[in-house]
Amino acid sequence: MAEQATNPIARDKSTPWLSLKMREAMEAWLFLGPTLAGFLIFFAGPLVAVVGYSLTEWNLLSQQSTYVGLKNYAHALGNNPDFWHVARNSAIFALGLVPANMALALALALALSRPFPGVIFFRTVFFAPVVTSAAAWAIVWKFLLQGEAGFVNQMLAYVGIDGPNWLREPDWAMVAVILTRVIKMVGLNMILYIAALQAIPRDYEAAARLEGANSWQIFTGITWPLLGPTTLVIMVITTIGSFKVFDHIYLMTAGGPENGTLVLAFYIYEQGFKFFDIGYASALAMIMFVIVMALTLVQLALRRRDT
Amino acid sequence: MTDRFTRRQLAVISRVCWTLALCVVAVPFIFPFLWMISSGLKSAAEIFGAPSLIPRRWQWYNYVEVFTYQPFARQYFNSLYISLSVTVLTLLFASLAGYALARMRFAGAALVGLFLVSALMVPEEVTIIPNFFLMKWLGLIDTHLPLILLPVFGPHGIVATFLMRQYFMALPKELEEAGRMDGLSRLGVWWQVALPLSKPALAAVAIITFLHSWNLFLEPLIFVSSLEKFTLPLALTNFTDPYGVPLWHLQLAATSLAVVPILIVYLIAQRQIIESFALSGVKG
């Protein structure tokens, strides 16, 4: 076969009219066919379309679509208190979720990266919410966080704390959706950190111990710097995930109370599928696209530097 | 300290303290599941009474009512068959395309790769509005086809393609070349040589794809409107009284039915499942 491949005029018996090289190319396109066709129809096409939609004023109720240039973008990014309120909420959500998630993930990974009796049990427990549907997770926590009669507040009452009505007060609702989302997703980052920790040679630590370093010095001097690339990648994917959060918010608070947890993904859904303001919703989707693309490019650049 | 305890004793004490601390942290991870199962077995009256993990009266009837309140069996079946279809189609198309990208030489290969990678940058939420009009135009609103087509060909399918490509690239070429020498076609080599060697990658893709589809929420919410076409995540939200107030005992019984089978499979295959997610490393 190697001999045939280097001979440009070699031909397969079944297709004598094709050179082997052309035959291989043809086969490759056939293999790629379904994926590429689906990609063009359900992804590339819609992506171009959403750019087009974002430049029109198109209200489904009036059934009319007119070209308005960048008006939808101006409507969002200009002096629109709704949009900036949503942007602020999304930023708070990300700034709360990402550090909490990463710190807890790292702490758990440090505790669970080496074998001890029960290590598998704990890893299994901390990862379990990741495989659970966001819908189920949100339903159960919404139940646990009910006002007076909710389990969390009943437990807090036992120790003398008068718990807030978690999902009915804007600030507490934000705290609640962030914390429950952290518990839901932290297992994933924990696993990535465990893999990175296990890739660090044990000799480094042993050598440092011989030099008389304590555990904290080993962490700050060896472990943390070596985890750097992993930390950056985890930071980016967790941030992207925080901008995409939809089902969790939809089911726990529906963006409320008083729009206190109205974040970007939910706002897009609301404008597009509840108020049918297709042009504006598409412009919002483009803004989300730009944010996520920028973060992804950062991640790809970091991975490349890393390898 | 060291006067009273030997080094070994100290190590044991510190281990015990660590384990206790981990147990405390584990509570918000485990307890929601236990409380869900317990509350799903309580009556509507007991559910907001004094908290108790063991129901005072086991209300097994909740599990009957779940199925009479709405077509829950049908909705369960929908989720099952949609997730299985998505998994099979993703395995097929992702391994075909991944194989071409890993092993076959053709003009434009790099460009195709770059093209597909770009999909990883775009959340489903961005293309969902045009996809809604596309599906409407195709007459597929309130059918299950959008719930199958979009995950298979969307960003998730592309992730699967690249996972397969990575795995194929790491396989030794010699076996496939031997297959060619024995007269297998390209498709034959893919099916009879490459795929059997790629079972770990196929299993990983199958696991993350099935769960992705099983847990999908936004797409069913947008594309499906009739009750008997709902999938599980949507159905769970629908156990409410006419004013939209949740009927918690039913909702939590139904949620248990949706979650517990997945958890059982997870407990049996936790190692494999966790590794699959670590491999994909892009979700969340």
- Whether the predicted pLDDT of B41 surpasses 70: yes
Tens of pLDDT, residue by residue over A179-237, are: 999 999 999 999 999 999 988 888 888 888 888 888 888 888 888 999 988 898 888 88
φ/ψ of A253, rounded to 5, equals: -135, -10
The span from the CA of B28 to the CA of B26, in Å, is: 6
Is B166 exposed, middle or buried (CB count within 10 Å of its CB: 0-12, 13-18, 19+)?
middle
What is the rounded distance in angstroms from the CA atom of residue B283 to the CA atom of residue A159? 38
Of A130, A132, A288, the CB nearest to B125: A288
Residue B205 contacts A where some CB pair is shorter than 8 Å: no
Give the mean pLDDT of chain A: 86
pLDDT at B222: 93
Q: Would you call B32 and A116 a contact, using CB atoms and an 8 Å cutoff?
A: no
Checking if the pLDDT of A3 tops 50, the result is: no
**A53/B126 CB distance under 8 A:** no
Q: Kindly report, residue by residue over B46-98, the tens digit of the pLDDT.
A: 887 777 788 888 888 888 888 988 899 999 999 999 999 999 999 999 999 99
Residue A7 pLDDT: 53
Mean pLDDT of B217-233: 93
| A5 pLDDT above the threshold of 90 | no
Instruction: Report the alpha-carbon distance of residue A292 to residue A284 in Å, rounded.
Output: 12
Q: Which residues pair with A64 in a beta bridge?
A: A59
B282 pLDDT higher than 70: no
Q: In the predicted model, what is the mean pLDDT of chain B?
A: 88
The residues, ordered by sequence, that sit 6+ positions from A77 with a Cβ below 8 Å of its Cβ are A83, A287
E strands along chain A, which residues? 11-12, 15-19, 56-59, 64-67
CB-neighbour burial class of residue A121 (10 A; exposed 0-12, middle 13-18, buried 19+): middle
Q: Which residue of A has its CA nearest to B270?
A: A124
At residue B32, does pLDDT exceed 70? yes
Residue scoring higher pLDDT (A297 or A191): A191
Percent of chain A with pLDDT over 90: 41
Amino acid identity, position A247: D
Which residues of chain A have a CB within 8 Å of the CB of B99?
A: 31
- Tell whether B258 lies on the interface with A, counting CB pairs under 8 A: yes
**Contact criterion met (CB below 8 Å) for A248 and A138:** yes
| Confidence bin at A307 (pLDDT 50/70/90) | low
Tell me the pairing of strands A64-67 and A56-59: antiparallel
User: Which structure tokens are listed for B140?
Assistant: 């597929």
Residue B276: C-alpha distances to residues A179, B152, B197, B205, B222 (Å): 25, 18, 17, 7, 29
pLDDT of residue B3: 60
Question: In the predicted model, what is the mean pLDDT of residues B260-282?
Answer: 86
Confidence of residue B135 (pLDDT cuts 50, 70, 90): very high
If one looks up domain A80-306 in CATH, what number appears? 1.10.3720.10
Could you give all domains of chain B from N- to C-terminal order, each with its CATH number?
A: 70-238 (1.10.3720.10)
Cβ pair B119:A43 closer than 8 A? yes
- Residues A181 and B27: their CA atoms lie apart, in Å, by 15
Mean pLDDT, range A161-171, rounded to an integer: 86
Distance CA A46, CA B136 (A): 13
* Consecutive H or E run containing A258: none
Q: How far apart are the first and last CA of chain B?
A: 45
ipTM score of the complex? 0.89
DSSP letter (8 states) at residue A57: E
Domains of chain A by residue range: 2-54, 80-306
What string of H, E and C letters represents the secondary structure of chain B? CCCCCCHHHHHHHHHHHHHHHHHHHHHHHHHHHHHHHHHCCCCCCHHHCCCCCCCCCCCCCHHHHHHHHCCHHHHHHHHHHHHHHHHHHHHHHHHHHHHHHHHCCCCCHHHHHHHHHHHHHCCHHHHHHHHHHHHHHCCCCCCCHHHHHHHHHCHHHHHHHHHHHHHHHHCCHHHHHHHHHCCCCHHHHHHHHHHHHCHHHHHHHHHHHHHHHHCCCHHHHHHCCCHHHCCHHHHHCCCECCCCCECHHHHHHHHHHHHHHHHHHHHHCHHHHHHHHHHHCCCC
Nearest-by-Cβ selection for B121 from A49, A286, A293 = A293
CA atoms within 13 A on the CB side of B192: 13
The answer to whether residue A295 scores a pLDDT higher than 60 is: yes
Straight-line distance from the first to the last Cα atom of chain A, in angstroms, rounded to the nearest whole number: 33
Q: Which of B152, B221, B283 sits opposite A38 (nearest CB)?
A: B152
> Which of B88, B159, B273, B274 has the highest number of chain A CBs within 10 A, making it the mutation to test binding with A?
B274
Rounded CA gap, A278 and A213, in Å? 61
Burial (CB count <10 Å: 0-12, 13-18, 19+), residue A77: middle
Query: Is the Cβ pair A140, B36 closer than 8 Å?
Result: yes
Cα–Cα distance between A90 and A255 in angstroms, integer?
11
CA–CA dist B68, B103 (Å, integer): 53
Q: Is the pLDDT of residue A114 over 70?
A: yes
Predicted TM-score (pTM) of this structure:
0.90
**Partner residue opposite B22 with nearest CB, options A122, A183, A247:** A122
Question: At a CB cut-off of 8 Å and minimum separation 6, what does A8 contact?
Answer: A19, A20, A21
pLDDT for the residue B225: 92
Average pLDDT over every residue of B194-200: 92
Given a cut of 60, is residue B195 above it in pLDDT? Answer: yes
Cβ within 8 Å of A, B 98-127: 99-101, 104-107, 109, 112, 115-116, 119-123, 125-127
**Best residue of B120, B127, B232 to probe chain A, by most A CBs closer than 10 Å:** B127
- Mean per-residue pLDDT, A7-24: 70
List CB contacts of B260: < 8 A, sequence separation 6 or more: B37
* Cα–Cα nearest to A166, from A190, A193, A138, A134: A138
Q: Out of A61-65, B28-32, B90-94, B221-225, which region has the weakest mean confidence (pLDDT)?
A: A61-65
Q: B284: pLDDT confidence band, cut at 50, 70 and 90?
A: very low
Report the C-alpha gap between B272 and A12 in whole angstroms. Answer: 42
Asked if residue A47 has pLDDT above 50, the reply is yes
What's residue B84's pLDDT? 96
Which residues of A, range 233-262, sit inside 8 Å of B by Cβ?
233, 237-238, 240-241, 243-244, 246-247, 250-251
